[in-house]
Amino acid sequence: MSSQCQAKTPQPTPGHSRDYSQVTDNDLVILTDDLTDTEHEKAAEQAHQREAAEKKEQECKAERKAKHEEAKRWKAEEERLEAERRKREEEEAWKKAAEEEAARQKVVVEQAERERQRVSEERAQARQDETAQRCMVEYCYVERSTT
């Protein structure tokens, strides 16, 4: 509680509207207004509570913002990792497809080589057969002419 002590002319407390100019006690005058003091204390307490509530709200708001930012960072990191995973899978698929195509090409080349070899052997055999047949015809012709 607020109180004032003065010797001659009493002064009212802030917000105090009573007139004490007629007080004659010259020794000591104590002026108090419990109602005014209580109102000031209540107002000060309410202001303090408002400030505390505002501070708490600001702290909660800052904490929510920090959590939101952290969640955004986690989401961005997860998206980055997912993109890297998809890229790796795509690269592996391309590599596998390239390997499969190379294997198919190798099989085609091997088949073409075998076919070329077979045709070459058939031609050689045909030449041999033709040569043998000519020899046989010439032999037979010579045999007939000598007989």
Output the pTM of the full model: 0.43
For residue range 49-94, what is the model confidence (pLDDT) as tens digits? 999 999 999 999 999 999 999 999 999 999 999 999 999 999 999 9
At 64, list the tokens: 């929510």
For residue range 103-142, what is the model confidence (pLDDT) as tens digits? 999 999 999 999 999 999 999 999 999 998 888 777 776 6
Q: Whole-angstrom Cα distance, residue 50 to residue 63?
A: 19
Q: Whole-angstrom Cα distance, residue 20 to residue 32?
A: 11
Burial per residue of 93-114, b for 16 or more beta-carbon CB atoms within 10 angstroms, e otherwise? eeeeeeeeeeeeeeeeeeeeee
